[in-house]
A = this chain, B = another copy of it.
Amino acid sequence: MQDALRQFKANIFQALAHPTRIAIVEVLRDGELPVGVIIERLGVEQANASQHLAVLKAKQIVAYRKEGNQVFYSVRDPLLIEVLDILRRYFQAHLTESMAMLTEMAQSESVVNGAKSL
On whether the beta carbons of B59 and A77 are closer than 8 Å, the reply is no
| Partner among B1, B13, B82, B97 whose Cβ is within 8 Å of the Cβ of A112 | B1
A115 at the binding interface (Cβ < 8 Å): yes
Chain A, 94-118, contact with B by CB distance < 8 Å: what is the 0/1 string? 1001110110010000011111111
Q: Which residues does A use to contact B, with CB under 8 Å?
A: 1-14, 16-19, 21-23, 26, 59-60, 76-77, 79-80, 82-84, 86-91, 93-94, 97-99, 101-102, 105, 111-118
Copies of the chain in the assembly: 2
On whether the beta carbons of B17 and A60 are closer than 8 Å, the reply is no
**In the bound complex, what is the Cα–Cα distance between A17 and B13 (angstroms)?**
5
Chain B residues near A80 (CB, 8 Å)? 90
On whether the beta carbons of B90 and A86 are closer than 8 Å, the reply is no
